[in-house]
Structure 1
């Protein structure tokens, strides 16, 4: 025992796989999902923002602004969960509304609990009744939020919604916060600690094509599909909404999402352009692997960097596709190599394919690149193998001394895949530079080509002796 009353022998902190599973596995389990559903313009996105305590979901006084499912991390009284904002649901919807209805229906199937939002000032419509009928059969906990209740008259309007057969209506005002805390208390009481809704195994892998406007995303999709699936026009920003296409490549079916081009700054975009950039974020989140298209014929831009940052922050598998290669001469190739070395040095792990969507040059090389990136993204390293590797690395290059003490890495485990996420339990803080060093060495040993890697550090406090 040291002078400060702590154990100087740190061996009692070290623990086995079994001990880790019992103590920390739950914190890595996927949090439960809460879907917010309802007709257009009943205040779903406003309620999402109220739950999050910040303005994240797009709110506009027009029906149908939220057109697809968008997920946000949230917490209430210390409990983590995911809020899924959905497009407005309408029975017998046509066109855009049909897509919106499909999104909401999927949310109903993939959520652990559901909040149906109804405009109490309007009362129960045929759309609300149709939604309630589906939800009653879902077998999930369903909460009826009677929104826009700001006074006593509103309370009476809310009470009339008992007719939907979903139990007691929760009178709330999403815009003012009235009644939302009580709703969340009841929601948390029935939510499982971890999501019980696992994504269906198998199925086409999801690919998002992203990049700045007019970089050739629609042309590439059409080239891959062998058909005019997307509107192609040489005016930047023709594609506003994502268009899903099931395409067979390399003997497999892939689900491609052709996304709207990102604007220079979201704040500078207006109207449909603003929503296009929001949808692109959503497409990245919905994808498993993202193909980032870069115009090889022009210098790399800040927009290109922003797109890449978004993909990495979302933790998706990544392939770099340098398009318009037919326009690249020897001089441009030399300059491009310099730009890549200078500006994409942190992305040496991403597979790079030089293509021409217009001529079809090398587009067939995208499939093996995507398969490589996805294999890395799905990869798992056993705890024993990882700890043996860590011991060798630390013996050769120990962590730098901090505050006069050298931190020890006591135990390592891969918490999750998709992307590979590692947790290091240590006796002290590990410098960012050392974490980057570990990432480089992980890649050298285990590959992970095409996938971001996350390394989290948990400092284990020493146990103090109780005074006798």
Structure 2
């Protein structure tokens, strides 16, 4: 830029809409850590205790039983040691229907963990369900700890002595609400956990698996698709909309590549109008999108595109993440619906024509293998960088053929352009005047025609040279 006689200090942001210029912060990917599964019957305070052990509010908590349904993993740190806490839904031996699927997830968590924490409500004592879980855990080859929760004051401590009869060793009194005894429990957890996990599911390389958020409106088939990709029952699936509440983290191998998928809660309402469990689920979904590198937005192809679909796509675009649109339930789409869907795409999704599109069926497995190539294409565009010389040479020819429209009697000139960052690709144009929104869209469209960027949003900002006051 110095060779062209351009001083960056000459350029201001008059409209206040430009994106910040600079390198994007890369999140750290922690290494493999031992896993602690937290199990127990419904409504004993498992998620409240998990939040206390994490030192932050991660698990969705509400004063009704059965909020947690899937097994959900969280990264924890205590005394310099990292480990993973897996929160589970209520475990009941003779459950049926949706609760049976929840119990199956808790059972899987116990089988794959390095240690197990059984949570019992000290104010109620050991129930028949607690004793059934204890019998299973006594036969396990994993270390087992027993936590007596809701011991909010000294008078409940004596009640925990009755829990010795479960045969799992010393019951440890703790209050998830107030934090009483949580430090002692964490120390005991570190003693029980091995230094490294039994199975290392990490991926070779410094970056780790690419992070994929699976998002969409309720009951669109997100959990079914994740289970199909993983080849196992990883998320609870039920015909009741809104089964998933917490984001469910899964390592999935597709085309010899390991991906980190996050199944999220369906977005039913705007965050501002949602309440209770739905409010916190919406916040977790937004956080999952921001933590991901690419998002798969699942849309029900058998129904008209809804406002929730557009809102989810807008959230992904606003977060600047790569995007793949997966039209699920394609096995239910007939010829009439295909024609209607084509019209809806031209009308409602015109602003994300750049997104990768795949027609799939989570139920039958149709075309789910095409998701991995679509993800790779979108991420390659998200990471793409155009050399400055090539960019300016192309831009000079384009502007010579189609100059910017006149504004205020003067025609602005584009002096220089650079790609400030990737993830998403962000371009900065240094000009002598403001560029109209229509001309910005024209430049973005031609950028895509020339350089691709399929599956990735592009951010285009303008820096206008300030007028210098002449010295007398």
TM-score (normalised: structure 1): 0.62
1:328-354, CA deviations, whole angstroms, 9 ceiling, x for partnerless residues? 011111101111111111111111100
- Corresponding residue for 2:58? 67
In structure 2, relative to structure 1, the CA distance for the partners of 1:394 and 1:377 (3 Å cut) is: same
Q: Is it true that 1:287 corresponds to 2:292 in the alignment?
A: yes
Mapping 1:324-403, distance limit 5 Å = 324-403=329-408
Return the match for 1:28 from 14, 22, 34: 22
The match for 2:444 is: 439
Alignment match of 2:311 (pick from 306, 314, 319): 306
Residue of structure 1 aligned with 2:414, choices 405, 409, 412:
409
Q: CA deviation at 1:270?
A: 2.2
2:239 equivalent to 1:248:
no
8 Å Cα contact 1:13-1:410 kept in structure 2: no
Q: CA deviation at 1:274?
A: 1.1
Post-superposition offset of 1:130: 8.1
Matched-pair contact (CA < 8 Å) for 1:217–1:293: yes
Contact 2:75/2:84 (CA < 8 Å) preserved in 1?
no
Looking at structure 2, the residues matched to 27 and 239 of structure 1 have their Cα atoms a distance apart, in angstroms, of: 37
Superposed, 1:197-212 pairs within 5 Å as 201-212=206-217
Residue segments in structure 2 that go unaligned for 5+ positions in a row: 13-19, 28-50, 60-73, 89-108, 110-177, 191-204
Structure 1 segment 65-144 matched on structure 2, within 5 A: 66-67=57-58, 95-96=86-87, 127=183
| Cα drift, residue 267 of structure 1 | 3.3
Between the two structures, name the one with larger relative contact order (CA 8 Å, sep ≥ 6). 2
Q: Which residue number in structure 2 is paired with residue 185 of structure 1? A: none
SS at match of 1:291: strand
What SS class does the counterpart of residue 268 from structure 1 fall into?
coil
1:232 is matched with 237
Q: CA deviation at 1:127?
A: 3.6
User: What is the CA–CA distance in structure 2 between the aligned matches of 1:327 and 1:255, rounded to whole Å?
Assistant: 29
Q: Deviations over 1:426-459 (max 9, x none)?
A: 0000000000000000000000000000001000
Superposition deviation, residue 372 in structure 1: 0.4
Partner SS, residue 267 of structure 1: coil
Q: Structure 1, residues 376-404: CA drift from partner, whole Å, max 9, x if none? A: 00000001011111101110000000000
Residue number among 262, 265, 268 corresponding to 1:263 in the alignment: 268
Q: Is the contact between residue 217 and residue 266 of structure 2 (CA under 8 Å) also seen in structure 1? A: yes
**Could you tell me how far 1:87 is from its partner in structure 2?**
9.2
Cα contact 2:228–2:362 (8 A) shared by 1: yes
Q: Distance in 2 between matches of 1:95 and 1:245?
A: 12
CA contact 1:322–1:355 (8 Å) conserved in 2: yes
Contact 2:430 2:464 in 1 (8 A): yes
Distance 1:280 1:94, change over 3 A: closer
**Structure 2 match to 1:195:** none
**Deviation for aligned residue 1:128:** 11
Q: CA RMSD in A?
A: 3.5
Select the structure of larger CA radius of gyration. Answer: 2
CA distance 1:124–1:215, change in 2 (3 Å): closer
SS of equivalent to 1:423: strand
Q: Counterpart of 1:342 in 2: which secondary structure?
A: helix
Shift of 1:462: 3.0
User: In structure 2, what is the Cα distance between the partners aligned to 1:339 and 1:124?
Assistant: 56
Look up the SS of the partner of 2:433 in the other structure: coil
How many residues are paired up?
320
Q: Does the 8 Å CA contact 1:266/1:274 hold for their aligned counterparts?
A: yes
Structure 1 residue 375: Cα displacement: 0.3
Distance, in Å, in 1 between the alignment partners of 2:345 and 2:235 is 30
Deviations 1:392-421 (A, max 9, x none): 111000000000010000110000000000
Tell whether the 8 Å contact from 2:424 to 2:458 is kept in structure 1 after alignment: yes
- Given the superposition, is the C-alpha separation of residues 245 and 392 from structure 1 closer, same or farther in structure 2, using an over 3 Å criterion? same
Alignment partner of 1:430 out of 411, 435, 439:
435
Give the SS at the match of 1:364.
helix
Superimposed CA distance per residue, residues 15-65 of structure 1 (whole angstroms, 9 cap, x where no aligned partner): 47xx769x99x95134799xxxxxxxxxxxxxxxxxxxxxxxxxxxx9687
- 2-structure distance, mates of 1:376, 1:328: 30
Secondary structure in 1 matching 2:302: coil
Once the two structures are superposed, what CA deviation does each residue of 1:89-142 show, in whole Å capped at 9, x if it has no partner?
A: 778996449x9xxxxxxxxxxxxxxxxxxxxxx9998749989xx9xxxxxxxx
Contact map agreement 1:295 1:324 (CA 8 A) in 2: yes
How far apart in 1 are the matches of 2:370 and 2:215? Answer: 18
| Distance 1:126-1:270 versus aligned 2 partners, 3 A rule | closer
